[in-house]
Chain A
């Protein structure tokens, strides 16, 4: 119960980043973290503790589906992919994010002026 607010800070954005990352190709959890890290040029560190709860939550909501498949190293890994519902969700989240960042940008500009 006390652990559920651990990822609150990034929760909205973390979900969006995960969905976006999986838009290109199905990945396992470790690869998702690596990919976000690399794509953001190491500006964004995914908090390891929040990643898996977030993945499970998205899976339970039906935005992600998962299969156990063999990786290059020969081990079984849980690979997540975007569902149709997840894709729709991603577009909605991106639109939301744009609106929010535009609004914030406007405020920042006005306070400078």
Chain B
């Protein structure tokens, strides 16, 4: 018989206890009577020898070991009854907590997926990737720092093998065009995320096949018997409905036929978080797949196979460091090999400054347990800011509820005093009050789980830079539910403990005497601290929201240097559909012709990189007579365009001329540069007519206005444009059409134009420039929208708390106010008396808020645009706003105080 069993049988046990004790008394009575006592005496003596039946029953109940459970059930019933009696309070409390806990859980889901969760591979802690440190690393994206050439990879791999470390290589995840052979040609082509990897990559990852086999080193040799591919579990399920016969089937990737040899383990999506891979292919297939992006090339020939070229860096190296080897120890071995390469290239550099700059670079093995991620670079800090924001909002809500509970407990202080004087334990009272708050918070926690799910999804959609949400797994997992439950319990204790401790301590005599008005004499000392805390926290939230809203505003009002309105663009890659340098020119003509024929088209153009298309072609140029500086001092960003590009984008030529049809292979090679480039390389001298070289020598024929081609946030780079008419072989990846009519129908028409030009080209998307502009500030919009909404919420909650607190204080001081009025205080005096309290609280709150906010803002500096982290105007505005709102909230009770009728106030009580 365990305690649970006893608890279930407690009614029966209770009856038996009663029967047993009655039997005892009856037997004793019978014995006494037979010894000669009267019936009445015998009964009295028998009972007296027991010393009272009830205490014995209590003692017998205690030994059952179910007392705590019975108490808990009582407390719970009592709490439920209290809730039913004050449904408005209960609903408000549960709703505000559910929003708070839900928002925290939702954002924690994203934090977990993006920043915490390790890759689903065995021993993820042993994984590492090779990156660079030193001045060249500053301000660059993590992923862009990790590129190495294939010969360098092979060298490092043989070096590291002696140090218990296996090394593999992978290219960034890229979109490729996939079709299944025999499914009606390339019409069934779709864009998938594909990744080129070395043969031993899967074994370094520790990933096993769930079907077929994965790659071996032999698959990655240029001499491999047949080209092969491995599918991810997700893609196998999505495209092939987990059909096992897919093994051995042929697929076409960018036109290259590949045999599917296996499916990787479930849940594994690759090393790059936020880029879930559909298909893996060996790096040896780079030429056949026309893979030509995301590479650093210094004097390499990108049109020749990349594998043997030392000059093209395109592979990220991932390592598994087997114990007892450590990452630090292996880094030392790796860096020695890396430094040999660096010294060789430094020796070939003429510029001594550049040489010194290069020599400060080192190779580092960084922790790869959580993979690599551009999404993490972009959103990691923003997500943490949002996490902090919702945590603060929850704290404000907690403080507010603690305050409300405090006021309610104050009204019940007589009840508590009576119970204490009747012998109830203090712990028992605390437990009862905590049960009430925990019931509220746990109900809220349950509701929050539903909110959290919707919240996480919404967040990923808001943060996305494309039409689909960010591909992070935020499905409701047990850790997430556990987080929500833990958080709701913590909240319940947090807002319940303070009132509970405070009122279980109340002075029995005073409380009973003063009729429940409490010894505090109309004041809630803890309450003031809570209100100040609420104001301080909501100030921090408001000031934070304001800097983010101003950042967004700065970005929205910036002049991008192009005119986004009425502009449609299509993005695609004809190389994937089998176009070669020889056939590219005719495609270009067909596309331009079709685009110009779109109804309402004013100008049309094609470009290789285009504007805000997430494409950066960076090269080193030489300007005769100019001694280059260090680092990226000679870098320019390049693009290839047709003459229609500048008018279509609305970029004005400020000096010189646009490209002409007459610029051809037979005339001088020309380039148009932007103002930033002209300023950087030629200063105040007019750049038109100057020359520079990058392989060939080019003459600058025009200077165009600066534009934010890399997104609104990025300052205009130094740009060099080349005409397609002199570079016919360069791929076309964007078409632009400026229309004077409806952009949506123009987008439809543009899609048709590409289909007419070649049905085999899979269009990545057709989109307006305005949409691209919007996406380039997705992060700022996300952060400012959410911090703004939560900031307003926090201020509203804090003011509600302030209002409740002052109202309560006025109600408790009615008597005192009555006396003051009776003694001749003016109405203004009384109002000031009350208002003074409000102002003091607000001033304290804001001062504390500023103290908290100033250091916190430094953490978000990287997320701001166009304002400093200690922008005094923003802080002042936040303080003024909060002051005004708070004083308005406090004015109501003050006015009511002045309406107190002295006669009635004195008679009451």
Chain A residues near B (Cβ < 8 Å): 1-4, 6-7, 28-30, 33, 48-50, 52-53, 56-57, 60, 68, 73, 75-78
Q: Roughly how many angstroms separate A73 CA and B50 CA in the complex, as a whole number?
A: 22
Across-interface contacts of B51 in A (CB, < 8 A): 48-49
Closest to A29 in B: B24
Across-interface contacts of B6 in A (CB, < 8 A): 60
Across-interface contacts of A2 in B (CB, < 8 A): 423
| A52 pairs with B19, CB closer than 8 A | no
Across-interface contacts of B23 in A (CB, < 8 A): 28-30, 75-78
Q: Which chain B residues numbered 262 to 307 have a C-beta less than 8 Å away from chain A?
A: none
| A52 pairs with B20, CB closer than 8 A | yes
| A1 pairs with B425, CB closer than 8 A | yes
| A3 pairs with B59, CB closer than 8 A | yes
Interface residue? B903 (CB, 8 A): no
| B59 pairs with A30, CB closer than 8 A | no
CB distance from B715 to the nearest CB of A (A): 72
Across-interface contacts of B16 in A (CB, < 8 A): 68, 78
Pick the most buried of A29, A53, A78: most chain B CB atoms within 10 A of its CB: A53
Closest to B1 in A: A60
| B64 pairs with A60, CB closer than 8 A | yes
Given contact pairs A49-B51, A52-B59, a sample of 9 additional A-B residue pairs in the complex whose CB atoms are under 8 Å apart = A4-B62, A29-B20, A49-B55, A49-B56, A52-B24, A60-B6, A60-B64, A77-B23, A78-B20
Q: Roughly how many angstroms separate A53 CA and B61 CA in the complex, as a whole number?
A: 8
Closest to A4 in B: B62
Q: Roughly how many angstroms separate A75 CA and B22 CA in the complex, as a whole number?
A: 11
Which residue of B19, B30, B55 contacts A78 across the interface (Cβ within 8 Å)?
A: B19
Closest to B425 in A: A1
Which residue of B49, B60, B425 contacts A56 across the interface (Cβ within 8 Å)?
A: B60
Which residue of A3, A4, A30, A56 contacts B24 across the interface (Cβ within 8 Å)?
A: A30
Across-interface contacts of A7 in B (CB, < 8 A): 59
4 tightest A-B CB contacts, nearest first:
A53-B59, A57-B63, A30-B27, A3-B59
Interface residue? B856 (CB, 8 A): no
Asked, given contacts A30-B27, A30-B28, whether A3 binds B65 with beta carbons under 8 Å apart, the answer is no
CB distance from B70 to the nearest CB of A (A): 12
Closest to A7 in B: B59
Which residue of A3, A33, A68, A78 contacts B58 across the interface (Cβ within 8 Å)?
A: A3
Across-interface contacts of A76 in B (CB, < 8 A): 19, 23
Across-interface contacts of A78 in B (CB, < 8 A): 16, 19-20, 23
Which residue of A1, A33, A77 contacts B62 across the interface (Cβ within 8 Å)?
A: A1
List 10 interface pairs A-B (beta carbons < 8 Å), by A numbering: A1-B67, A4-B63, A49-B50, A50-B59, A52-B21, A52-B24, A52-B59, A53-B59, A76-B19, A78-B20
The secondary structure that dominates the A interface is helix
Across-interface contacts of B30 in A (CB, < 8 A): 73
Q: Which chain B residues numbered 3 to 45 have a C-beta less than 8 Å away from chain A?
A: 6, 16-17, 19-21, 23-24, 26-28, 30
CB distance from A80 to the nearest CB of B (A): 10
| A48 pairs with B49, CB closer than 8 A | yes
Across-interface contacts of A6 in B (CB, < 8 A): 55, 59
Closest to A33 in B: B24
Across-interface contacts of A60 in B (CB, < 8 A): 1, 6, 63-65
CB distance from A75 to the nearest CB of B (A): 6
CB distance from A78 to the nearest CB of B (A): 5
| A53 pairs with B50, CB closer than 8 A | no
Across-interface contacts of A75 in B (CB, < 8 A): 23, 26
Q: Which chain B residues numbered 529 to 578 have a C-beta less than 8 Å away from chain A?
A: none
| A56 pairs with B63, CB closer than 8 A | yes
Q: Which chain B residues numbered 45 to 93 have a C-beta less than 8 Å away from chain A?
A: 49-52, 55-56, 58-60, 62-65, 67
Q: Which chain B residues numbered 445 to 478 have a C-beta less than 8 Å away from chain A?
A: none
Q: Roughly how many angstroms separate A33 CA and B380 CA in the complex, as a whole number?
A: 75
Q: Roughly how many angstroms separate A1 CA and B16 CA in the complex, as a whole number?
A: 22
CB distance from A11 to the nearest CB of B (A): 11
CB distance from A15 to the nearest CB of B (A): 12
CB distance from A35 to the nearest CB of B (A): 13
Asked, given contacts A29-B24, A60-B1, A78-B16, whether A52 binds B56 with beta carbons under 8 Å apart, the answer is yes
CB distance from A91 to the nearest CB of B (A): 23
- B232-249: CB near A (< 8 Å → 1, else 0) gives 000000000000000000
Q: Roughly how many angstroms separate A37 CA and B424 CA in the complex, as a whole number?
A: 36
CB distance from A60 to the nearest CB of B (A): 6
Which residue of A48, A57, A68 contacts B50 across the interface (Cβ within 8 Å)?
A: A48
CB distance from B57 to the nearest CB of A (A): 8
Closest to A6 in B: B59
Q: Roughly how many angstroms separate A6 CA and B64 CA in the complex, as a whole number?
A: 16
Closest to A2 in B: B423
Q: Roughly how many angstroms separate A6 CA and B57 CA in the complex, as a whole number?
A: 13
Closest to A59 in B: B1
| A49 pairs with B59, CB closer than 8 A | yes
| A3 pairs with B19, CB closer than 8 A | no
Closest to B58 in A: A3
Across-interface contacts of B49 in A (CB, < 8 A): 48
Across-interface contacts of A53 in B (CB, < 8 A): 56, 59-60, 62-63
Closest to A3 in B: B59
Across-interface contacts of B50 in A (CB, < 8 A): 48-49
CB distance from A22 to the nearest CB of B (A): 16
Across-interface contacts of B27 in A (CB, < 8 A): 30
Q: Roughly how many angstroms separate A30 CA and B30 CA in the complex, as a whole number?
A: 12
Across-interface contacts of B52 in A (CB, < 8 A): 49
Q: Roughly how many angstroms separate A78 CA and B6 CA in the complex, as a whole number?
A: 17
| A52 pairs with B60, CB closer than 8 A | yes
Q: Roughly how many angstroms separate A46 CA and B101 CA in the complex, as a whole number?
A: 58
| B28 pairs with A56, CB closer than 8 A | no
Across-interface contacts of B19 in A (CB, < 8 A): 76, 78
Closest to B6 in A: A60
CB distance from B46 to the nearest CB of A (A): 9
CB distance from B32 to the nearest CB of A (A): 12
Q: Roughly how many angstroms separate A82 CA and B176 CA in the complex, as a whole number?
A: 81
Closest to B28 in A: A30
Across-interface contacts of A57 in B (CB, < 8 A): 63
| A3 pairs with B1, CB closer than 8 A | no
Q: Roughly how many angstroms separate A6 CA and B30 CA in the complex, as a whole number?
A: 28
Q: Roughly how many angstroms separate A28 CA and B20 CA in the complex, as a whole number?
A: 9
Q: Roughly how many angstroms separate A76 CA and B22 CA in the complex, as a whole number?
A: 11
Q: Roughly how many angstroms separate A89 CA and B19 CA in the complex, as a whole number?
A: 28
Q: Roughly how many angstroms separate A50 CA and B62 CA in the complex, as a whole number?
A: 12
Across-interface contacts of B63 in A (CB, < 8 A): 4, 53, 56-57, 60
CB distance from A49 to the nearest CB of B (A): 5
Q: Roughly how many angstroms separate A68 CA and B16 CA in the complex, as a whole number?
A: 9
CB distance from B874 to the nearest CB of A (A): 57
Across-interface contacts of B65 in A (CB, < 8 A): 60
Closest to A68 in B: B16
| B20 pairs with A3, CB closer than 8 A | no
Across-interface contacts of A4 in B (CB, < 8 A): 59, 62-63
Across-interface contacts of A73 in B (CB, < 8 A): 30
CB distance from A69 to the nearest CB of B (A): 12
Closest to A53 in B: B59
Closest to B427 in A: A1
Q: Roughly how many angstroms separate A76 CA and B51 CA in the complex, as a whole number?
A: 24
Pick the most buried of B30, B52, B59: most chain A CB atoms within 10 A of its CB: B59
Across-interface contacts of A3 in B (CB, < 8 A): 55, 58-59, 62
Q: Roughly how many angstroms separate A87 CA and B46 CA in the complex, as a whole number?
A: 32
| A56 pairs with B64, CB closer than 8 A | yes
Q: Roughly how many angstroms separate A28 CA and B56 CA in the complex, as a whole number?
A: 17
Q: Roughly how many angstroms separate A5 CA and B23 CA in the complex, as a whole number?
A: 25
Q: Roughly how many angstroms separate A38 CA and B63 CA in the complex, as a whole number?
A: 28
Q: Roughly how many angstroms separate A48 CA and B49 CA in the complex, as a whole number?
A: 7
Q: Roughly how many angstroms separate A73 CA and B29 CA in the complex, as a whole number?
A: 14
Across-interface contacts of A52 in B (CB, < 8 A): 17, 20-21, 24, 56, 59-60
CB distance from B12 to the nearest CB of A (A): 11
Closest to A61 in B: B63
Closest to B423 in A: A2
Across-interface contacts of B67 in A (CB, < 8 A): 1
Q: Roughly how many angstroms separate A7 CA and B64 CA in the complex, as a whole number?
A: 16
CB distance from A3 to the nearest CB of B (A): 4
